């Protein structure tokens, strides 16, 4: 297993390098001079000032050299200064990341638990109204724009019925666990909706398939109760495809977080990214891009490891 892990990690390196090359190329193909974005416009910079800043930022070097420079600093955790407020990019990310991580973990937890529960329910009650309801709802939430659902939820649940806060991470001056929890209920659910809707379908079809499989029939024939069959034998096998999908759903989670954090005014990475894009804050954009990719790549490796845990038949090779 360790050899497998090491091989996967080694394989991840070219993928991550590829990602940095692509994002670097996209950012640097942008029209306009980054030096001008970096500088304070109101100080009426002369051409000389601009040249000086270009030199300081290394913009006078050829693109491949700039990339290597950037990469060299990036591996040491130095992503340069934000164009927007001249603070180190890594500081800004360190401030924002905890919010996003907590939200993402909560919503993964909620999403996957609910997905398995609903999926099992739908499979066990296949082709009944319960199944149809779950299927229709999940189809609806997979296809509805997430920001739209979020806005409706705020308007109804927070403003109209006054059940939960409208936005933000916590009430200023409170910040107790209960207060934060209240603030996070809606964003967590909204962010988890896609996973719930998408994954529960996988669980359902996977479970239906295994319930028809030979070994389950054998178990039933041996006289095992249907609950035992479902939970002990069939579910374990049905979860295998789900685990592979978890890895693939991470980028979508990141994308959902961008929108969710914006709608709910949460100060996380998604919000940082949207602001960075709006303000053409290139060092921040490229750093976030890289970090999120790293997260996804490792998420995938983790998913593969879990794959072996749920399915002992799989050997690392």
Partner 1 sequence: MAQPALTQPGTDTVTPRIDSPWQIFWRRLWRRKPAIIGLALLALMITLSMAAPVFTSFDPEKIDLNQKFAPPLSQTASGQVMLFGGDSLGRDVFTRAIYGGQVSLKVGILAAGLGLLIGVGIGSVAGYYGGWIDNILMRLVDIFLSMPTVLLLITVVAIYGPLVPKGGEVYLIVVVVGLLGWPGPARLVRGEFLALKERDFVQAARSLGSRDPRIIFRHILPNVIGPIIVSATLAISGAILTEATLSYLGLGIQPPMPSWGNMILDGQAYLRNAWWVTTFPGLMACATTLALYSLGDGLREALDPRLKRQ
Partner 2 sequence: MKRRTLSSVAGSLLVATVLTACSSGSTPAPSAPAPSTPAASETPVQGGTYTVASTIDATFLNPILNQDAVSNDLNALIYDSLLQLNDKQEWIPWLAEALPTIEEGGLKWTFKLRQDAKWQDGQELTSADVKFTFGAILHPGYTGVRASGLTAIKGVTDLRNGFKETDGKGTDKEAALKEKAAAWEAWQQTDAIETPDKYTVIFRFDKPFAPAMSNIAGRGIIPQHLLKDQVGVAMKDAAFNRSPVGSGRFQFGEWKTNERIVLKANPNWWGGRPNIDEYVFRIFPDTNTAMAALEKGEIDRAAVQVDQFDHFQNDVQLVNLYEYATTQYRNIAFDLKNPLFADKNVRTALATALDKENLVAKLLQGHGITAWSHGTPTRWDFNPDVKKYAYDPEAAKKALDAAGWTVGPDGVRVKDGQKFSFDLYFVTGNKLEAEAAQVVQAAWKEVGVEANLKGTDQPTLLDLSDAGNPARKQPPAYLLGWTLGSEPDSYAIWACDGSFNDISYCHPTVDELENKGRTELDQAKRTEIYGQIQAKLAEDQPYLWLWFPNAIQGIHKRVKGPIAGTPVGIEWNIQEWWIQPDKK
Positions that interact with partner 1 (CB under 8 A): 14-16, 18-19, 22-23, 26-27, 30-31, 139-140, 142-148, 151, 155, 248, 251, 254-255, 258-259, 262, 273-274, 277-278, 280, 285, 288-289, 292-293, 296-297, 300
Q: Which two tokens stand for residue 10?
A: 């080694």
Q: Is 168 in the site for partner 2 (CB under 8 A)?
A: yes
d(C-alpha 255, C-alpha 242), whole Å: 20
317 binds, among partner 1, partner 2, none (CB under 5 to 8 A by kind): none
Q: Which of 2, 3, 143, 162 binds partner 2 (CB under 8 A)?
A: 162
157 vs 291, beta carbon nearer partner 2: 157
Residue 241 binds partner 2 (CB under 8 A): no
Closest separation between CB of residue 302 and partner 1, Å?
13
Q: Judged by CB under 8 A, does residue 145 bind partner 2?
A: no
Return the half-sphere exposure (C-beta side, CA atoms, 13 A cut-off) of residue 296: 18
Report yes or no: 139 and 196 within 8 Å, Cβ to Cβ. Answer: no
Cβ–Cβ < 8 Å for 239, 116 = yes
**Window contacting partner 2 (CB under 8 A); options: 127-135, 148-156, 198-206, 211-219:** 148-156
Beta bridge partners of 88: 81
301: part of which helix (H) or strand (E)? helix 282-310
**Residues 120, 215: Cα–Cα separation, whole Å:** 18
Helix axes 63-75, 282-310, angle to 10 degrees: 60
User: Of 124, 234, 272, 297, which lies in the binding site for partner 2, with binding defined by CB under 8 A?
Assistant: 272
**230, two tokens:** 């479902």
For the CB of residue 163, give the shortest distance to partner 1 in the complex, in Å.
Answer: 18
Q: Is 173 in the site for partner 2 (CB under 8 A)?
A: yes
Q: Decide: helix, strand or coil at residue 1.
A: coil
Residues whose CB is less than 8 angstroms from the CB of residue 269 and which lie 6 or more positions away in sequence, other chains included: 93, 96, 97, 99, 100, 257, 261, 288, 291, 292
Chain residues binding partner 2 by CB under 8 A are 32-33, 36, 40-48, 50, 52, 85-86, 92, 95, 151, 154-155, 158-159, 162, 165-169, 171-173, 262-265, 267, 271-272, 274-275, 278-280
């Amino acid at each position: 297993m360790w050899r497998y892990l090491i091989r996967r990690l080694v394989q991840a390196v070219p993928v991550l390098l590829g990602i940095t090359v692509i994002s670097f190329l996209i950012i640097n193909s942008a029209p306009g001079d980054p030096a001008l974005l970096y500088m304070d416009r109101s100080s009426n910079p002369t051409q000389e000032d601009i040249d000086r800043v270009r030199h300081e930022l290394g913009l006078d070097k050829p693109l491949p050299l700039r990339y290597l420079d950037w990469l060299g600093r990036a591996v040491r955790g130095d992503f340069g200064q934000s164009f927007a407020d001249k603070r180190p990019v890594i500081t800004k990310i360190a401030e924002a990341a905890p919010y996003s991580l907590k939200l993402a973990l909560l919503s993964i937890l909620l999403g996957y638990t609910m997905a398995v529960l609903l999926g099992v329910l739908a499979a066990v009650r296949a082709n009944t109204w319960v199944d149809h309801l779950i299927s229709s709802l999940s189809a609806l939430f997979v296809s509805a724009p997430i920001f739209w659902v979020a806005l409706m939820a705020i308007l109804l649940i927070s403003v109209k019925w006054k059940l939960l806060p409208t936005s933000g991470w916590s009430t200023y001056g409170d910040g107790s666990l209960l207060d934060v929890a209240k603030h996070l209920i809606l964003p967590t659910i909204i962010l988890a909706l896609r996973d719930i809707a998408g994954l529960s379908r996988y669980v359902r079809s996977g479970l239906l398939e295994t319930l028809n499989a030979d070994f389950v029939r054998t178990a039933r024939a041996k006289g095992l109760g249907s609950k035992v069959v479902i939970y002990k034998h069939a579910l374990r096998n049905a979860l295998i495809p789900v685990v592979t999908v978890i890895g693939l759903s991470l980028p979508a989670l990141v994308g959902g977080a961008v929108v969710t954090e914006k709608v709910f005014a949460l100060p996380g990475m998604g919000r940082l990214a949207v602001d960075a894009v709006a303000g053409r804050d290139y060092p921040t954009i490229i750093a976030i891009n890289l970090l999120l990719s790293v997260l996804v790549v490792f998420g995938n490796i983790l998913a593969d490891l879990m794959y072996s845990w749920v399915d002992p038949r799989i050997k690392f090779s």
